[in-house]
Amino acid sequence: MKEKDAYSAVHYDNYLQLDKILDAQSPRSTELGKPAHDEMLFIVIHQVYELWFKEIIHNLSSIMVMFENDEVDEKNISIAVGRLKRIIEILKVLIDQITILETMTPLDFLDFRNYLLPASGFQSFQFRFVEVALGLKKPKRTTYGQKDYQEPFSKEQIEKLNALENSNSMLQLLEKWLERIPFLEFGDFNFLEKYQSSIDNMLKNDKEAVMKSKHIDEVQKNLRLRMLEESKKYYKNVFNEDNHQKLVDEGVLKLSYKATFAALFINLYRDEPILQLPYQLLSSFVEIDELLTGWRYRHAQMILRMLGKKMGTGGSVGYDYLKMTADKHHIFLDLSNISTLMIPRSELPKLPSDFEKILGFHFTNMNK
């Protein structure tokens, strides 16, 4: 476009290319001479899904570019949080759209279902792109019928997915960013040592409270004391870096030891001004994971309502497979599990005053 044309009049229809969009619905039932009224709804809903997936990819890709460098501009954290919150709102809409689709009854769906074979949501390239970009790669993916998830796609699409598989996902970029955060040690202050001391103190206080309580019987006391001992063992393993790495190697954990404790530090001291945006960043990824799980589960429930135990149009076991993905396809689970390591504010290690100044954007009036 020439610069002189940049501000020329543009018509609503032309700008949105509505002739293409509104002419993109071709119900197969109509083409076959047996029109099914609700097939139009089915098509529109799924086309809208694909448009939202496109917007998610547009935002997610821009965030990944921000985190690719060793030095992440702090101004970009604010931008990233804003775009992640947009993705969150889109995912809420995706879940809500299922309610609209469910205005179609099982009998309405059966009017045209057989015309769809073998088309399936499994063939959505954009949704697979979102999953892989976030961090759900082949080794962690639940498949059906031993099929490669890339099987339905074109050569060009497979090349794009493989490029994603072989590059850093959002989860990996986030891990590298967390590992670079310099707050775990500051002068003589060692967060891990102080945190471990706080854990020991917390468990000691909990044990004393149980022992002194007059409101629980001996059976309950012994049960709670055993639970405290188990907690003690758990925390002992948490602080063992070799144990943590073993769990990463086994695929139980995804984030490294250093990244995990950096995330914990951000969560514990999130009220400090400089950590508020990093906390929102981590919380946004947790919420995205939660909403994706909710969408998968809601999708599974819809399939159960529409098809019962029938096989899906793509050849999967339908409801059972979709529910399995909801249970297993968590991407940012390590960030959610940080809650296990949280301690009350009253037990937080006191930060050195000069460290607090750094975390608090301390400013000195130079005119005084």
Joined together, the tokens standing for residue 349 give: 């290690």
Tens digit of pLDDT for each residue in 172-203?
A: 999 999 999 888 888 888 888 989 999 988 88
Which residue shows structure tokens 């619905």? 25
Does residue 252 lie within any of the structural domains? yes
Tens digit of pLDDT for each residue in 73-107?
A: 888 999 999 999 999 999 999 999 999 999 999 99
In whole angstroms, what is the distance from residue 10 CA to residue 20 CA?
17
What's the pLDDT score for residue 166?
A: 96
**Cis preceding linkage at 182, omega within 30:** no
Query: Which amino acid makes up residue 57?
Result: I
Q: What is the DSSP letter of 190?
A: E
What's the pLDDT score for residue 355?
A: 85
CATH number at residue 171: 1.20.58.480
Does residue 226 lie within any of the structural domains? no
Report the SS3 class of residue 67.
coil
H-type alpha helices, the chain: 12-16, 18-21, 28-31, 39-66, 74-101, 106-110, 125-134, 155-165, 170-180, 191-212, 218-238, 241-249, 257-268, 276-307, 319-328, 333-336, 353-359
Joined together, the tokens standing for residue 318 give: 């339908």
Does residue 175 lie within any of the structural domains? yes
Average pLDDT of the chain, as a whole number: 89
In whole angstroms, what is the distance from residue 164 CA to residue 86 CA?
23
What's the pLDDT score for residue 34?
A: 94
Residue 2 falls in which region: left (phi positive, over 0), alpha (psi -120 to 50) or beta: beta
* Cα distance between the two ends of the chain: 56
Query: Percentage of residues in the chain with pLDDT exceeding 70?
Result: 92
Tens digit of pLDDT for each residue in 121-150?
A: 888 999 999 999 999 998 888 877 677 888
- Domain total in the chain: 1
Judged against a pLDDT cut of 70, whether residue 5 lies above it is answered with no
Does residue 286 lie within any of the structural domains? yes
Does residue 7 lie within any of the structural domains? no
Does residue 10 lie within any of the structural domains? no
Which domain covers residue 127, as residue numbers?
15-193+233-359
Does residue 214 lie within any of the structural domains? no
Does residue 221 lie within any of the structural domains? no
Q: What is the pTM of this model?
A: 0.89
Judged against a pLDDT cut of 50, whether residue 328 lies above it is answered with yes
In whole angstroms, what is the distance from residue 83 CA to residue 130 CA?
15
What's the pLDDT score for residue 233?
A: 84
In whole angstroms, what is the distance from residue 238 CA to residue 108 CA?
53
**Arithmetic mean of pLDDT, 267-277:** 92
Confidence category of residue 120, pLDDT binned at 50, 70, 90: confident
Which residue shows structure tokens 């990819």? 57
